């Protein structure tokens, strides 16, 4: 008999690696690019991993009981993952999110029963924004469990225990370069730390938005790469505490136009409909694969979520 799973959490992780043969051939790349497709997680993104990790830790510590409220700040995917896991285990959810989040993500949060509090995007230009929003969440929800995804060490630890080992196992230890973006910093820090512990000389590379894709006081609502944040030349207080600032061997900047174009190319050439952040990561991986020194190497690019979460945004940008 086929295995019958008994809980939502059993469906999380062990996402596939897909070698992008068409994409590589069409660009004449000498390195191999393997995409780790995280939308195979049950709620559709890499954040399902930490959603379960954060909630499981709280349950193990006796900090959550059925009917309790879970709160956090989110750019969408962690909230969706938390809301899905919470729904499966009898908890309520409430999330604070910027008002520039795609309508698709907002609708998904609502479908999972989450309460939403929107915050003006320009608020996050404040160097102390992360501390202020965390303080506000705690003040307005004193009895709730604040998962604190940006600072909770269970976030990168989950990727150290799952994402990194899966990549190592599925490449038989042949991975040479690991590429990702930084949202909370958990994926790149946790998986990167594991992979570096297994192989001397392995490189970790971060894709980050260029200046024209970042909000400013004059333009608080640019066309952003949703969920991918700048980490170079950023004051420490503006970085997520879960981001290991020593993990990256290189940081590659790109604009949103390139991220969107790469995501569209991935869909058209490989049949993989991934999000804008995935396009950003793959664009960076492509730059690495084009370098002579990386010929024959294996590059693993983490694709955080599905492009279905950005269809309204992509359509608006195309008009």
pLDDT tens figures, 22-70: 999 999 999 999 999 999 999 999 999 999 999 999 999 999 999 999 9
Q: Determine how many CB atoms are found less than 10 A away from the CB of residue 85.
A: 27
Catalytic-role residue among 9, 36, 45, 47: 47
> What does the pLDDT read at residue 1?
52
Range of the domain at 60: 47-146
Same domain for 304 and 195, yes or no, is yes
pLDDT(78) > 50? yes
pLDDT(4) > 70? yes
Mean pLDDT, rounded, for 177-182: 98
Asked which of 123-127, 243-247, 273-277 is least confident by mean pLDDT, the reply is 123-127
Q: Is residue 18 part of a domain?
A: yes
Query: Does the active-site annotation cover 197?
Result: no
> What does the pLDDT read at residue 236?
86
> What does the pLDDT read at residue 265?
98
Query: Does the active-site annotation cover 98?
Result: no
Asked which of 54-68, 102-116, 215-229, 303-317 is least confident by mean pLDDT, the reply is 303-317
Q: Which of 113, 146, 179 is the last residue of a domain?
A: 146
Summarised one tens digit per residue, pLDDT across range 125-150 is 888 888 899 999 999 999 999 999 99
Same domain for 61 and 114, yes or no, is yes
Q: Is residue 187 part of a domain?
A: yes
> What does the pLDDT read at residue 313?
66
> What does the pLDDT read at residue 194?
98
Same domain for 158 and 266, yes or no, is yes
> What does the pLDDT read at residue 216?
85
pLDDT(247) > 80? yes
Range list of β-strands (E), 236-297: 250-254
Same domain for 216 and 311, yes or no, is yes
- Residue 142 has what DSSP assignment? T
CB 154 within 8 A of CB 145: no
Same domain for 134 and 55, yes or no, is yes
Q: Is residue 190 part of a domain?
A: yes
Q: Is 125 exposed, middle or buried (0-12, 13-18, 19+ CB in 10 A)?
A: middle
Same domain for 214 and 304, yes or no, is yes
pLDDT(110) > 80? yes
pLDDT(244) > 70? yes
Same domain for 178 and 251, yes or no, is yes
- CB-facing half-sphere around the CA of 124: CA atoms within 13 A: 21
Band (221; pLDDT cuts 50, 70, 90): confident
* C-alpha closest to that of 182 among 116, 242, 96, 128: 242
> What does the pLDDT read at residue 102?
85
Could you give the number of structural domains in the chain? 2
Catalytic-role residue among 98, 102, 277, 278: 277
Q: Which of 100, 127, 146 is the last residue of a domain?
A: 146
> What does the pLDDT read at residue 316?
41
pLDDT(86) > 60? yes
pLDDT(217) > 90? no
48 vs 44: CA distance, rounded Å = 7
Same domain for 33 and 95, yes or no, is no
Asked which of 50-64, 209-223, 283-297 is least confident by mean pLDDT, the reply is 209-223
Report percent pLDDT > 90 for the chain: 84
Same domain for 109 and 189, yes or no, is no
39 vs 86: CA distance, rounded Å = 19
Q: Is residue 276 part of a domain?
A: yes
Higher pLDDT, 2 or 84: 84
71 vs 131: CA distance, rounded Å = 15
Same domain for 66 and 211, yes or no, is no
Summarised one tens digit per residue, pLDDT across range 145-176 is 999 999 999 999 999 999 999 999 999 999 99
Band (124; pLDDT cuts 50, 70, 90): confident
Mean residue pLDDT of the chain comes to 94
Q: Is residue 2 part of a domain?
A: no
Q: Which of 108, 124, 146 is the last residue of a domain?
A: 146
Same domain for 108 and 162, yes or no, is no
Q: Is residue 243 part of a domain?
A: yes
Same domain for 91 and 223, yes or no, is no
Q: Is residue 1 part of a domain?
A: no
> What does the pLDDT read at residue 319?
33
118 vs 139: CA distance, rounded Å = 16
Q: Is residue 169 part of a domain?
A: yes
Band (75; pLDDT cuts 50, 70, 90): confident
183 vs 160: CA distance, rounded Å = 16
Q: Residue 260: which CATH number?
A: 3.40.50.1100
Band (315; pLDDT cuts 50, 70, 90): very low
């Amino acid at each position: 008999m086929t295995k019958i799973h008994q809980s939502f959490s059993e469906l999380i992780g062990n996402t596939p690696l897909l070698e992008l043969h068409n994409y590589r051939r069409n660009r004449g790349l000498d390195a191999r690019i393997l995409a780790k497709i995280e939308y195979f997680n049950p709620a559709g993104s890499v954040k399902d991993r930490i959603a379960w990790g954060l909630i499981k830790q709280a349950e193990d510590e006796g900090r959550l009981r059925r009917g309790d409220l879970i709160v956090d700040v989110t750019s969408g995917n962690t909230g969706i993952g938390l809301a899905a896991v919470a729904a499966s285990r009898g908890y309520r959810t409430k999330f604070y999110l910027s008002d520039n989040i795609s309508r698709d993500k907002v609708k998904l949060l609502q479908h999972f029963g989450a309460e939403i509090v929107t915050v003006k995007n320009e608020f996050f230009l404040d160097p102390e924004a992360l501390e202020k929003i965390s303080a506000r969440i705690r003040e307005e929800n004193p009895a709730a469990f604040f998962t604190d995804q940006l600072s909770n060490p269970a976030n990168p630890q989950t990727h150290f225990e799952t994402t990194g080992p899966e990549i190592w196992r599925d490449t038989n230890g042949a991975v040479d370069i690991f590429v990702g973006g930084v949202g909370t910093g958990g994926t790149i820090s946790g998986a990167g730390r594991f992979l570096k512990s297994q192989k001397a000389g392995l490189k970790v590379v971060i894709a980050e938005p260029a200046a024209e894709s970042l909000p400013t006081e004059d333009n608080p609502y640019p066309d952003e790469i949703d969920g991918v944040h700048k980490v170079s030349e950023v004051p420490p207080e503006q970085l997520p505490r879960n981001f290991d600032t020593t993990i990256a061997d290189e940081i590659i900047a790109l604009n949103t136009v390139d991220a969107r174009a790469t995501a569209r190319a991935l869909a058209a050439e490989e049949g993989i409909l991934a999000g804008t952040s995935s396009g950003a990561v793959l664009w960076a991986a492509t730059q690495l694969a084009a370098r002579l020194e990386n010929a024959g190497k294996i590059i693993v690019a983490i694709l955080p979520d599905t492009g279905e979460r950005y269809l309204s945004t992509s359509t608006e940008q195309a008009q």
